[in-house]
Amino acid sequence: MREWVVPLVLFAGLAAAPFAGFGEGYALTLLARTMILGMAAVGLALLVGGAGLVSLGHAATLGVGAYAVVVLDANGITDATTVLPVAIAAAALFALATGAISLRTSGVHFIMITLAFGQMAFFTASSLAAYGGDDGYTLFSRTEVAGTRLLEDRLAFHYVCLGLLGLTYLFCRAALAARFGRVLRAARENALRVRAVGLDPYPYRLLAYVLAGAIGGLAGVLLANAAEFVAPSYLSWQRSGELLFMVILGGLGSLHGAILGALAYVLLEEWLSHLTEHWRMIFGPLLILSVLFFRGGLAGLLAPRQRR
Partner 1 sequence: MSPELLLVQALNGLQFGILLFLVAAGLTLVFGVMDFINLAHGVQYMLGAYFGASLAAATGSFWLGLLLALPAALLAGLVLEFLVFRHLYDRDHLAQVLATFGVILFLNEGVKLVWGAAPLQMPIPALLEGGVALMPGLQYPIYRLGIIGAGLATALLLWFLVDRTRAGMLVRAGATNPEMVSALGVDIRRLFTLVFGFGAMLAGFAGVMAAPILSVEPGMGDTPLILAFVVIVIGGIGSIRGAFVAALLVGLIDTLGRAAMPDLMRLFLAPSPARQAGAAIASMLVYILMAAFLAFRPAGLFPVRTG
Binding residues vs partner 1 (CB under 8 A): 48, 54, 56, 101-102, 104-105, 107-109, 111-113, 115-117, 119-120, 123-124, 126-130, 237-238, 241, 244-245, 248, 278-281, 283-288, 291-292
Q: Least distance to partner 1 from the beta carbon of 250, Å?
A: 13
Nearer to partner 1, 29 or 124 (CB): 124
Distance CA 229, CA 239 (A): 16
Nearest-approach distance from CB 246 to partner 1, in angstroms: 10
Contact 65, 73 (CB under 8 A): no
Q: Which is nearer to partner 1, 120 or 199 (CB)?
A: 120
Q: Residue type for 202, please?
A: Y
Pick 122 or 204: Cβ nearer partner 1: 122
Shortest Cβ distance from residue 235 to partner 1 (Å)? 13
Beta-bridge partners for 79: 144
| Shortest CB 291 distance to partner 1, Å | 4
- Reported as half-sphere exposure (CB side, CA atoms, 13 A), residue 124 has a value of 13
- Residue 20 or 108: the one with the smaller Cβ distance to partner 1 is 108
Which of 145/282 has CB closer to partner 1? 282
The CA angle 124-130-133, to the nearest 5 degrees, is 50
Contacts of 308 (CB under 8 A, 6+ apart): 253, 254
- Closer residue to partner 1 in complex, CB, 192/197: 192
Q: Least CB distance from residue 52 to partner 1, whole Å? A: 9
Q: Calculate the CA 302 to chain-centre distance.
A: 22
Report angle CA 269, 59, 287 to the nearest 5 degrees.
Answer: 35
Q: Which helix (H) or strand (E) holds 230?
A: strand 229-230
- Residue 214 C-beta: closest distance to partner 1, Å: 22
**C-beta contacts of 181-186 below 8 A and 24+ residues apart:** 181/50, 184/50, 184/51, 184/208, 185/50, 185/51
